[in-house]
Amino acid sequence: MIKQRGAAIVGVFVLALSAHVFGQWITYPTPNVPRLPDGQPNLKAPAPRQADGKPDFIGFWQPDRQRECTPDLASRVRLAQPCEPGKTVMVQNGPASVPGGLPLQPWAAELAKKRAAELSKDDPHPRCQPDNYPRVYWLPHFTKMFFVPGELLMLNEWNAEFRQVYTDGRSFPEFMHPIYSGYSIGKWDGDTFVVTTKGFRDDQWLDTPGNPITDAATTTERITRPNFGTLNIQVTVDDPKAYTKPFTIDMNMKIMIDTQMIEEFCLENERDSARLSAPTGGK
């Protein structure tokens, strides 16, 4: 169900738009990008700052499995290949990146095993249901972030999902009606933006293999922007209902230059889910 962005663009736009319009819209220049002498984006340039001096997260972001090899990287992320100092290395993404695996409660381990054996046929994502944060971070869709007074807003192109992270000093409501992405409050710790989220719906999927996240979960995200082209997000999941102890997912997101978000809807006339468990060649 999840397709690469290029394939999605071809399917959505090539039949609908001329090449001329396509080029003008999707490849629209990104303003205020630091450039190298040859005109290429300088992704290692310093991160932009807001008026108050705090880092700005403005931009379009996608997961990045390419990480610079550092001595401590293997202790934070499960590697997909040997790590050579001074080079980049491919890493696992999302919960699969946690060294040693997830500390699942017995019932949750059995459920995840069952879902994997069934090839994730009941995954809510291809069934057009909303995704939760943090799962949105490791799906291959664009997320647009920007600060406005009192909030960090996150817009995701999948089904026009949005997230509000409140920065106005409010506390969590006494009663939180469970919602997909929960209720999020953010504050600064130096140059690190710390987001605490509670109030999730029960029995959501944390990833495509089917590891769960429940209504007992509290997540803590520590977001930094070490340079213009990178966001580092460390998500700690504390869900005693599904896991024996908290665990942390360490990932990078890369900025996408000279492009725009597109509508990617999975709402009406969805027919994929009926085929997820169909035999090979079935209708």
Average pLDDT for residues 236-248, to the nearest whole number? 98
| pLDDT for the residue 19 | 38
Q: How far is 76 from 248, CA to CA, in rounded Å?
A: 8
Domain boundaries, the chain: 61-267
Q: Which residues pair with 22 in a beta bridge?
A: none
Does residue 9 surpass a pLDDT of 50? no
Q: How far is 183 from 172, CA to CA, in rounded Å?
A: 7
Nearest to 203 by CA among 194, 216, 192: 216
The tokens describing 146, both together, are 């920007």
| pLDDT for the residue 226 | 97
Residues whose CB falls within 8 Å of the CB of residue 110, separated by 6 or more in sequence, listed in order: none
Q: How far is 268 from 124, CA to CA, in rounded Å?
A: 15
Q: What is the largest CA-CA distance in the chain?
A: 59
| pLDDT for the residue 12 | 38
Cβ-based neighbour number of residue 50 at 10 Å: 11
23-32, 117-126, 192-201: which has the minimum mean pLDDT? 23-32
| pLDDT for the residue 262 | 86
CB 102 within 8 A of CB 95: yes
Please list the alpha-helical segments (H only) found in the chain: 5-9, 19-26, 73-76, 106-117
113-122, 135-144, 267-276: which has the minimum mean pLDDT? 267-276
State which amino acid sits at residue 222: R
Q: How far is 80 from 90, CA to CA, in rounded Å?
A: 5
**How does pLDDT run across 190-199, given as a tens digit for each residue?**
999 999 999 9
| pLDDT for the residue 268 | 60
State which amino acid sits at residue 144: K
Does residue 27 surpass a pLDDT of 60? yes
Q: Where are the beta strands (DSSP E) in 127-265?
A: 143-148, 151-156, 161-166, 183-189, 192-198, 204-205, 212-213, 218-227, 230-238, 247-255
Please report which confidence band the pLDDT of residue 228 belongs to, taking 50, 70 and 90 as the band edges: very high
Q: What is the DSSP letter of 243?
A: B
Total count of residues recorded for the chain: 283
CA atoms within 13 A of residue 176's CA, in its CB half-sphere: 20
CB 138 within 8 A of CB 93: yes
Nearest to 165 by CA among 174, 155, 153: 153
Q: How far is 39 from 194, CA to CA, in rounded Å?
A: 34
Nearest to 76 by CA among 235, 227, 253: 235
Cβ-based neighbour number of residue 32 at 10 Å: 7
Q: How far is 248 from 232, CA to CA, in rounded Å?
A: 13
| pLDDT for the residue 273 | 64
Cβ-based neighbour number of residue 268 at 10 Å: 6
